[in-house]
Amino acid sequence: MTATIETYAPPALLYRFRKIGVAPDFPNQSTRREIEGLNEGRLWCGEYHDLNDAMEGLYRAGDAARGQPQWERARTLIRDGKTSVGIACFSEVWQQALMWAHYADSFKGICIEYDFRVLRETLADNTSFSRVSYADQLLDIGSDLENPRRLAKWILSTKHHSWSYEREWRLFIPERGLVRFDRAAIRRIILGPRMSANVAQFLEANLSRYHIVRSRVRGYDVEVD
């Protein structure tokens, strides 16, 4: 027999950090893409190769896996599962300075706050969320090779412990592309403390349906009023 894993207390809110661009106009691709996605209720889910961690997707297959007759087929299906799935990355925290530095254009971007329940309930049935786990060693996939696609998601939900400050959740969709959700899931949009005044004003005008707040740095903290 095997004990089940149950999660009773998912976070109420999730956050997504985004680069927005420095030129406040629609010809700017980053600005246009983010504004259109927010106003239309669309999320981009990219390939794992596009993520910034060069160790993404690595895993260990020991003798228990390699000794099985279906190993070669399973290895191919795991590889295909990793390359085909679409991923969007979220965090449980918005005040983490490294997140602003790495994913929001050195504090010049935005952080989108989502109601996690509303987001989950309004995404398509073929999507799923996974909380990322952090470890010192590569994930050993063990001997159960019956579901290579599940193994691919497991591999893509495991990172080195040096990334643990991200407190990451990942949204998986069957293949890379856009996925729709109800805009009611967006609680507020936090503007980075280094965002220029003209870019902030442009976003406030073009995202007027949302609650937008400006942040600031106070000591070693990122704050909003």
Is 2 inside any structural domain?
no
Contact 194, 119 (CB under 8 A): no
The length of the chain, given as a count of residues: 225
Q: What is the CA radius of gyration of the chain?
A: 19
Domain that holds residue 96: 13-224
Q: Of the candidates 173, 181, 71, which has an alpha carbon nearest to the alpha carbon of residue 128?
A: 173
Beta-bridge mates of residue 181? none
pLDDT the model gives residue 7: 72
Is 210 inside any structural domain?
yes
Contact 160, 137 (CB under 8 A): no
Domain count, the chain: 1
Is 3 inside any structural domain?
no
Is 65 inside any structural domain?
yes
Q: Please write the tens of the pLDDT for every residue from 127-175.
A: 999 999 999 999 999 999 999 999 999 999 999 999 999 999 999 999 9
Is the pTM here over 0.85, yes or no?
A: yes
Is 44 inside any structural domain?
yes
DSSP string across 169-207: EEEEESSSEEEE--GGGEEEEEEPTT--HHHHHHHHHHT
Is 1 inside any structural domain?
no
Q: What are the distances in angstroms from CA 181 to CA 15, 83, 116, 119, 127?
A: 15, 24, 11, 6, 11
59 vs 164: CA distance, rounded Å: 18
Average pLDDT per 10 consecutive residues for the chain, totaling 225 residues: 75 96 70 92 96 94 92 94 96 98 96 98 96 96 92 96 97 96 98 94 95 97 92
Identity at 191, one-letter amino acid code = L
Question: By three-state DSSP, how is residue 165 classified?
Answer: helix
Is 7 inside any structural domain?
no
92 vs 132: CA distance, rounded Å: 11
pLDDT the model gives residue 1: 63
Is 193 inside any structural domain?
yes
Which tokens sit at 20? 């927005």
Question: What phi and psi values does residue 165 have, to the nearest 5 degrees?
Answer: -60, -20
The stretches of the chain forming alpha helices (DSSP H) are 29-40, 63-66, 71-84, 97-103, 116-122, 148-155, 197-206
pLDDT the model gives residue 113: 98
pLDDT the model gives residue 116: 98
Q: Please write the tens of the pLDDT for every residue from 18-32.
A: 998 776 666 677 788
